[in-house]
Structure 1
């Protein structure tokens, strides 16, 4: 095997050092008192050869997380599990079709409500994203919480704590998939929690920094436009541009375009299997920024001798959505690496 040149060794050493810094800094940012899970599990319901179980647990004081676990009625023993994270305005019930497919593949499949979504919204699932956007504005104004992506990474870590207590889950075979907002939360959670053995972030991997520097931030901001507009008004900014976007991000998700940006966090998943699914013309995950993430990931996987464990799947002529054939690819990726 040919030897790497000294320059390459130096590059990978710097990469590893920065990776360790980003992981420890993000964990420090997220850290909060770990309260008892106080898990509550409802009686399982069987329909169409699938068993669905509702559960809930405490992620932190005052934050109860509701979830669904679906598995085959013929499932026995400890099964690999796939966590499914919804996008902005979604909820755990919106993922039922994918949960069912994963359960038929032999997995235990789990979905939770993100903060201020579904059963965690005071107005219920009909609230869509209104309360979520309101919480982001509240963060901008008061500095309370991290509803914009970060808090869900903490909830996923606590969800894994709960899954480890279940007799029907194999804690060594945990996967995660998420969509848009959930895709970002997937790679953030996988970057800091090695218990996630396989990750499939969908239409989420991106460089926030690249978007800011290249006037391509508008589509991402549109997902929380009302909060952004109100924050600009509070700040006396009549025509907010990239500079105010930086101010907004610095308050609601500090580090999102720096040490916790995609090119910094995605490589932390190496050498665990990682499939990133993106749209070729998705304005929320611009191609050049995505390339920066993929290049950094490839370098990390190459350094770990695990080139075959990273795949970037770009859906041709596709904007911000996941095609049915891409979901099949994701399921096959989980089957390949988690072996249900």
Structure 2
């Protein structure tokens, strides 16, 4: 079952580990006899653009080379568009105002986002791009980490399980941050439109009233099954799924910088799960990000090979990346700018070894740059989640560097 498998989410699976062959004592690789040669190939990958691969006398040259290589591998560089904005809805909340906005990501594609603006601002304020999770929940995006009126029960249950019942974007706004919460590609306002799919893919949806919990659950099931088709189509087009996601996140920075409420020198990013994965890449690839928090997605790619890729989404794969940069190497491309990593000891999506190896690599990079205190990694005795104690620690980290 992959990350995002909506029939039984990874959060539910974390509570029933006996379902996994690993827990039952079966120590064979999920790719069986194919594993040894793939492991050997991965182990021979040099990560040649890692800051630790060799001496780099010119840090800025290393940074530029690493970013250029990643953007090449991501294989998605649509023509830039000027920042745009359509305000769809304005809701006044206690202590802040929530706008629902739409802006262009490319000339062919737009997204919706919530923009949370604290009351009483007297000048440009620090800002955070809050990035939603995957969780097998495609019907919503931004709503998974933002308080909304009349939220359906299935959404409230997700927020309780993944976030301890607290929508952290609103908490950031209450504490003085301008917060942008965009829908990622394939989620929320950018989700699949069932009306434009062949009926063979949507028959189950037609059994339920649109917008009901049953309909949303059926939509999530359909979208989960469709990931493979979408991934194949993306690759066949010459692009990559991460490339599309990350370009959208950089477009969100463009939009945020167009807002007069925002101090462009104090922008951070934070997210859980695929949101953490996107946060790691946004921090690493965009020099406009001053501080980052990665929750529930920091590991080494080699550590996933044996038996951990079954549970992951199609949204994370970049061909040939390991020859140049592992995940912690990408996150380090903005070092020594501050980075906090939040890991969970009971997270079945990763191995403790992989999380530890990534932590140690990042710590060594920051140490080598003379800024060890700019990196923090904390572990929580939880399954894959970003609950209130971890949120509070993340906000304290953002406060330390952005206020």
TM-score, normalising length from structure 1? 0.80
**1:283 matched to 2:356:** no
Instruction: Mark the CA change 1:223 to 1:175 in structure 2 (over 3 Å): closer, same or farther.
Output: same
Q: Is the 8 A contact 1:117 1:128 kept in 2?
A: no
CA distance in 1, matches of 2:259, 2:189: 23
Q: Is 1:193 matched up with 2:193?
A: no
Tell me, yes or no, if the aligned pair for 2:345 and 2:379 is still in contact at 8 Å: yes
List per-residue Cα deviations over 1:296-325 (Å, max 9, x = no partner): 211221122111010011113x22112321
Distance in 2 between residues matched to 1:309 and 1:289, nearest whole Å: 21
Compute the displacement of 1:48 (Å). Answer: 2.0
Q: How does 1:228-307 map to 2 (within 5 A)?
A: 252-307=317-372
Cα-to-partner distance string for 1:8-56 (whole Å, 9 max, x where unaligned): 9994429967655432111233322112333222453212232011111
1:164 corresponds to 2:262: no
CA-to-partner distance for each residue in 1:188-226, whole Å, 9 max, x for gaps? Answer: 1111101111100100111122221xx1324xx3243xx
Cα distance in 2 for residues equivalent to 1:50 and 1:9? 44
Given the superposition, is the C-alpha separation of residues 255 and 264 from structure 1 closer, same or farther in structure 2, using an over 3 Å criterion?
Answer: farther
Q: Per-residue deviation at 1:257?
A: 4.4
**Size of the alignment, in residue pairs?**
303
Kept in 2, the 8 Å contact 1:177–1:199? The answer is yes
CA contact (8 A) 2:268 2:292 kept: yes
Aligned to 1:68: 114
Task: Kindly indicate whether residue 268 of structure 2 is the aligned counterpart of residue 175 of structure 1.
Answer: yes
Q: Which residue of 2 aligns with 1:328?
A: 392
Does the aligned pair in 2 maintain the 1:78–1:167 contact within 8 Å? yes
Q: Provide structure 2 residue ranges, at least 5 long, that are not aligned to the other structure.
A: 1-50, 147-166, 195-209
Match in the other structure for 1:149: 242
Q: In structure 2, the residue corresponding to 1:272 is in which secondary structure? A: coil
CA distance in structure 2 between the partners assigned to 1:258 and 1:109 by the alignment: 36
**Does the alignment pair 1:137 with 2:207?**
no
Distance 1:154 1:61 in 2: 13
Equivalent residue number for residue 57 of structure 1: 103
State TM-score, norm by structure 2.
Answer: 0.68
Q: Is the 8 A contact 1:207 1:257 kept in 2?
A: no
Moved more, 119-128 or 149-158: 119-128
Relative contact order: is structure 1 or structure 2 higher (C-alpha 8 Å, sep ≥ 6)?
Answer: 2
Shift of 1:158: 0.8
Native 8 Å contact 1:84 1:178 kept in 2: yes
Determine the C-alpha separation between the residues in 2 that align with 1:327 and 1:145: 38
Q: Does the C-alpha gap of structure 1 residues 288 and 14 become closer, same or farther in structure 2, counting only changes over 3 Å?
A: farther
Contact 1:65 1:112 in 2 (8 A): yes
In the alignment, the residues of structure 1 paired with residue 319 and residue 92 of structure 2 have an alpha-carbon distance, to the nearest angstrom, of: 44
Cα distance in 1 for residues equivalent to 2:352 and 2:300: 9
3-state SS in 1 of match to 2:392 = helix
After TM superposition, the runs of 4+ consecutive aligned structure 1 residues lying more than 6 A away are none
- RMSD after superposition: 2.8
What SS class does the counterpart of residue 230 from structure 2 fall into? helix
Q: 1:282 to 1:255 in 2, by over 3 A?
A: farther
Counterparts of 1:158 and 1:101 in 2: how far apart (Å)?
Answer: 24
Counterparts of 1:176 and 1:183, CA distance in 2: 9
Matched residue, 1:79: 125
For structure 1, list consecutive stretches of 5 or more residues without a partner in the other structure.
1-7, 228-247
Q: Which residue matches 1:112?
A: 182
The residue aligned with 2:86 is 40
Deviation of the 1:256 alpha carbon = 4.9
